[in-house]
Structure 1
């Protein structure tokens, strides 16, 4: 792609731990703000954001924008959890990394051809031990183009 194109992304956090707050950090390091702050109450949580997709030095899709974190070829989006999401009385201070890997030019072309489509992924909100999922999503089922 010659120019950066901005596209919509949706992260669905499946069955997050009730009573826990989740949020997207916009920006990085100390220069971030929390947006889309949501308290889990038994339903899935949905986070919508935009990011630019451009051609990386290796010819593969690369990503940029205020929600995108990490080095080239390892980009991801954080979801902050508990105290990291501003819930000061939470026993958890965690972040969940949602990788941006697996997004192909074929998927990007579908987005270009159909402006109403978005890239979507579903990630678990609760770990096997019953606490909020944290660290890099595993297993990660990847992204798909959807309406």
Structure 2
């Protein structure tokens, strides 16, 4: 029965004894598993932000489609309306890209891997996106009567 037990990280056989899950010495497997769990926890928020930006982008693209239809079918065209809608979509695409890069970095992806997706070197990717961070917007908790303070 002791032979069937394996380290949860490297899959090496564990000696019989108390309920170990990782290799006893050195503790690299245990530390590696801990770091992997921490990376996954740090990546959860940026991945959620990416999903949120993706949903908002979908709404903006649908609105742009409606504007395009209205401009195409309208007799009196409103100058600048299409450009305004396109600029709005472009802003949301940039936000989505930043959120995706932050999510990948939080998950442990290297700058080289991220840059490769955008046809950039690792240095160029690092210089472009290293200053961004996900910030939570402050939310006022409701008071005792159920309304904001």
TM-score of the pair, normalised by structure 2 = 0.18
TM-score of the pair, normalised by structure 1 = 0.19
**Relative contact order, CA 8 A, sep 6+: which one is greater?**
1
Which protein is richer in helix relative to its size?
2
> If you compute each CA radius of gyration, which structure gives the higher value, 1 or 2?
2
